[in-house]
Amino acid sequence: MYICLDFIQMKDLVREARRLRLDFPILEKLHPSGHPLIYLDNAATAQKPRAVLSALHQFLSEFNANIHRGIHWLSQKATALYEGARESVAEFIGAASAEEIVFVRGATEGINLIANGLKRVHFQPGGEILLTQAEHHANIVPWQLIAEEIPIRLRPIPLQSDGSFDWEAFYQALTPQTQLIALTAMSNVLGTEIPIPDIAQVARTRGIPLLVDACQAVVHRPIEVKAWGVDFLVFSGHKLYGPTGIGVVYMRRPWGDIFPPYQGGGDMIRQVSWTRTSFAPPPAKFEAGTPAIAEAVALAEAIKYLQRTVGWDFIQAYESYLTDYAEEQLCSIPNLKLYGTARPRGCLWSFTLEDIHPHDVGTFLDQAGIAVRVGHHCAQPLMDFLQVPATIRASFAFYNLPEEIDRLVLALKESVKFFSKIEGEVKLS
Ligand code: PMP
C-alpha cells in the first residue's frame, strides 16, 4: 500500500514537472545534432520561464526609464518596479527590511563588496577567515586579495569524506583569531548542504560575523536570513531562473550603516561638493550608477514564479526524487565514482569515469545533445582535496525529467564503450 502510494505520488510529481517544463521555451529546442536538448547544467545557470522573459520585455517596452532621479511618470513607475523588486527579494529570503538588500551584478560582485567593507572596518592584522574546502573561487579570491593588503589568512576546514560538514574540524579551526566565517550553503561541486542555521548559532554566540554564499542553496531551499541570524548572504539571479547581470547582497543591520561605500558615483550620495561628499543611506550607498533595472524587475518575477507557480513543496519533493533516481542510475555504470554522497543535498551529482578524462566525456555527451559541465567548476582547491583534475557534473532543475537521466546514463555507458574501444585500438597500433 505504502509503495503503491509512493508510486502514485511520484507519477504525479513527474506529471507536474512535465507541465512546468512547458513554461521554458528553450527546453523545446533541438541540439544541432538533431537530438532533443537535454539541459543538465543548471548549477551554472538555469533556464528562464516565460514569466521572466515577459517581465524583461514588458519593462523595456512599456516602463523603461532611469530610476530615482526622474520626476516624470515613467521614471516613477520604473522606480516603483525596481524598489518593489527589492521588497520581493527581502520577503523571499526573510530579511527584516528591504533596506538590507543591495542589488549587484551577481554573487561574485557581492562578495567583493562585502570583502571591501570588512577590510575597511572589521579585519585586524592576524585575523583568520574560516571557509570550507568546497568554496567556489568567488568565495576565496576576494579574501586573498584583501590578505595582500591586511595580514589575515584563510583557514579552510576539511569536509568529511562523504562531503558533509565536519563539526570537529570546524571547532578545531575556530580560535580567538577567527574574524569571519564565510561558507557556501551548498557546494556547487558536491551538492552537499552545509548546516548554516547551526553554524550561525555558534557564530552569533562568539560574535563572529557569518557570510553565506547561497548561490546554489537558494534554488533548492527556502532561506531565512533573519531567523538564522546570518550577517551577509549573496546569490546570483541567473541561477534562480532570473536574468544574468543581477545579484543580491543581504547585509544585516547595522553593517550597511558601518560599511563605507564600495564604489562612488551617481545615486549613492546625499550631497556632493568639491570639498566634501556625504552618502545616501543603505542600500543606495552601495548602488552607484544606473543599476540593472529591468533585470531586477525580472528577478522579482522569477521569485514570484518559483513561489506561486512552482512552490517549495513541489521543488523539494520532486528534486529529492530526481536526486535519488539519478544516483541509482549513475551507480549502475561500472567504474563510475560519485563525489560527495551525503544528505541533505541539492539536486546534482559530480562524478568521474575511470580512465576517461571528464572533458572527453563532456564532448561525447554534447554530441548526444546532453549539456553537462566538466572541469574544476571554479573550485580548484576542492579538486586538489578530491585529488582529481576535474569532474563531470550533472545538475538538475525541477523541469528535468527521469527520462533525461536515462538518456544521460545511456550516453555515459556508450562513452565508456567508445573510449575503451579507442584505447584498445591505440594499444594495438
Ligand atoms: N558561489 C557558488 C557556490 C557558485 O556556484 C557560483 C556560480 N558558479 C558563484 C559563487 C559565482 O556566481 P556568479 O558567477 O554568478 O557571480
Q: What is the mean pLDDT of residues 375-404?
A: 97
CB 286 within 8 A of CB 268: yes
Q: How far is the CA of 187 from the centre of ligand 1 (A)?
A: 10
Q: How many CB atoms lie within 10 A of CB 284?
A: 18
188 in ligand 1 pocket by Cβ < 6 Å? yes
Q: What are phi and psi of 216, to 5 degrees?
A: -90, -40
Over residues 303-322, the pLDDT tens digits come to: 999 999 999 999 999 999 99
CB 143 within 8 A of CB 281: no
Specify the DSSP element, H or E, that contains 299. Answer: helix 293-304
Q: How far apart are CA 222 and CA 151, in angstroms?
A: 36
Who's near 302: CB < 8 A, 6+ residues apart?
48, 49, 51, 52, 237, 240, 241, 242
Specify whether the CB–CB gap between 351 and 336 falls below 8 A.
yes
Provide the terminal-to-terminal Cα distance of the chain, rounded to the nearest Å: 59
Retrieve residue 119's grid coordinates: 577590510
Ligand 1 proximity of 215 Cβ (cutoff 6 Å): yes
Provide the pLDDT for residue 423: 76
CA pair distance 355, 188, nearest whole angstrom: 24
**Three cell numbers written together for 209:** 560575523
* Atom number, ligand 1, closest to the C-alpha of residue 107: 16
What's the mean pLDDT in 195-219?
A: 98
pLDDT at 424: 77
* Ligand 1 atom, smallest distance to 377 CA: 8
Whether the predicted pLDDT of 5 surpasses 60: no
Mean pLDDT of 218-234: 98
Ligand 1, atom 4, lies closest to the CA of 215
Q: Is the CB of 107 under 6 A from ligand 1?
A: yes
Instruction: With a cut of 90, say whether residue 422 has pLDDT above it.
Output: no
Measured between alpha carbons, how far is residue 112 from residues 107, 115, 137, 143, 211 in Å?
9, 5, 12, 8, 12
Q: Which CATH number fits domain 52-307: 3.40.640.10, 1.20.272.10, 3.40.50.2020, 3.30.565.10?
A: 3.40.640.10
Looking at ligand 1, which residue's alpha carbon is closest to its atom 8? Answer: 44
The answer to whether the CB of 192 is under 6 A from ligand 1 is no
**For 84-134, what is each residue's pLDDT tens digit?**
999 999 999 999 999 999 999 999 999 999 999 999 999 999 999 999 999
| Sequence-separated (6 or more) residues with CB below 8 Å from residue 396 | 40, 42, 319, 322, 323, 326, 347, 348, 405
**Nearest of 136, 72, 1, 59 to residue 295 by alpha carbon:** 59
227/263 Cα distance (integer angstroms): 30
State mean pLDDT over 273-278.
Answer: 95
CB under 8 A, 24+ apart: contacts of 52-57: 52/241, 52/242, 52/243, 52/298, 52/301, 52/302, 52/305, 53/25, 54/301, 55/294, 55/297, 55/298, 55/300, 55/301, 56/243, 56/294, 56/295, 56/297, 56/298
Q: How many CB atoms lie within 10 A of CB 167?
A: 14
Q: Give 369 Cα–ligand 1 centroid separation in angstroms.
A: 25
Ligand 1 site-directed mutation target among 136, 211, 350, most atoms within 8 Å of CB: 136
| Mean per-residue pLDDT, 201-206 | 98
Q: Is 236 in the pocket of ligand 1 (CB under 6 A)?
A: yes
345 Cα to the center of ligand 1, angstroms: 17
Residue 3 in this model has a pLDDT that exceeds 60? no
pLDDT score, position 388: 96
pLDDT score of 45 more than 70: yes
Ligand 1 midpoint to CA 109 (Å): 10
Q: Is the CB of 187 under 6 A from ligand 1?
A: no
Nearest CA owner, ligand 1 atom 12: 107
Instruction: Point out the least confidently predicted range of 1-5, 25-29, 129-133.
Output: 1-5
The answer to whether the CB of 362 is under 6 A from ligand 1 is no
Q: What percent of the chain has pLDDT over 90?
A: 95
CA distances (Å), origin 381, targets 133, 156, 340, 378, 425: 7, 9, 15, 9, 36
Between CA 277 and CA 189 the distance in angstroms is 44
Active site residues per annotation:
378
Q: What percent of the chain has pLDDT over 70?
A: 98
Q: Domain 7-41+311-428, what architecture?
A: Alpha-Beta Complex (3.90)
Residue 426, pLDDT > 90, answer no
Per the omega criterion (within 30 degrees of 0), is the bond before 260 cis?
no
CA distance 390 to 186: 19
- Is the shortest distance between the CB of 185 and ligand 1 below 6 Å? no
Domain locations along the chain = 7-41+311-428, 52-307
How far does the centroid of ligand 1 lie from the alpha carbon of residue 236, in Å?
A: 7
Question: Cα of 378 to ligand 1 centre, how many Å?
Answer: 8
Give bridge partners of residue 271 from the DSSP assignment.
278
How far apart CA 127 and CA 125 sit, in angstroms, is 5
Q: What are the tens digits of pLDDT across the range 51-86?
A: 999 999 999 999 999 999 889 999 999 999 999 999
Interval 278-297 mean pLDDT: 97
Predicted local confidence at residue 429, as pLDDT: 67
- The pLDDT of 319-337, averaged and rounded, is 97
**According to the model, what pLDDT value does residue 70 have?**
86
Q: Is the pLDDT of residue 1 over 90?
A: no
